[in-house]
Amino acid sequence: MTTFIALLRGINVGSTRKLPMAELRTLCGELGFAGVQTYIQSGNVVFSADGAAEDHEAVLEQGITRVFGLQVEVMVRTAAQWGQIVAGNPLWAEAQAEANHVLLGVPKRPPRTDAVAKLLERATAGERVVAAGEVLWFHYPNGIGGTKWSPALVDRLVGSPLTGRNWRTVLQLAAMAKI
């Protein structure tokens, strides 16, 4: 069995798209995942299973639609991939100094080759974005609240839906996956 990390996009934000973590863990068990753990309410799941990450994305998306009636993008990476993502953080110093201002962006598909350049054209207040393999790292020195990079804009420029997690969450998921 392989350990996986699943990131659900856009759930439990505000008063819409509610998806209780206890019920999500139950669904994951019903889908055949083992050792299911969730972290905070934003849709982070660590589990073990056989098979490929892409297959688990599809199965989890279909299960969420069937049980909760929600269309949710799910991005799944193996623990080994997650370890490489953590080790490859090009904003390491910033992440150590201000963990909540550094965000890992995990896209559904690899980002377009011009995604970083297009995002940087729209950066304000010292915002930065750096590609590292198939993920993007964002630095919001003044916090994410005032950014002009809306989720719709990021998705369009990246060419794929993307979900983000701050550095603390990235490290917590690594610890849960025993990386």
As given in the structure block, the two tokens for residue 160 are 């794929």
Four-CA torsion 91, 97, 99, 101, nearest 10 degrees: -70
Alpha helices in 11-142 (DSSP H): 21-30, 53-68, 79-87, 92-97, 115-121
What is the full per-residue pLDDT of the chain (179 aa) written as tens digits?
A: 999 999 999 887 666 778 899 999 999 999 999 999 999 988 899 999 999 999 999 999 999 999 999 999 999 999 999 999 999 999 999 999 999 999 999 999 999 999 999 999 999 989 999 999 999 999 999 988 888 899 999 999 999 999 999 999 999 999 999 98
User: What pLDDT score was predicted for residue 10?
Assistant: 85
User: What pLDDT score was predicted for residue 4?
Assistant: 98
Q: CA quadruple 86, 74, 23, 59: dihedral positive or negative?
A: negative
User: What pLDDT score was predicted for residue 15?
Assistant: 62
Q: Per DSSP, what are the bridge partners of residue 2?
A: 49
- 96, with CB counted inside 10 A (0-12, 13-18, 19+), is exposed
**How much is the pTM?**
0.94
User: What pLDDT score was predicted for residue 120?
Assistant: 96
As given in the structure block, the two tokens for residue 44 are 């982070």
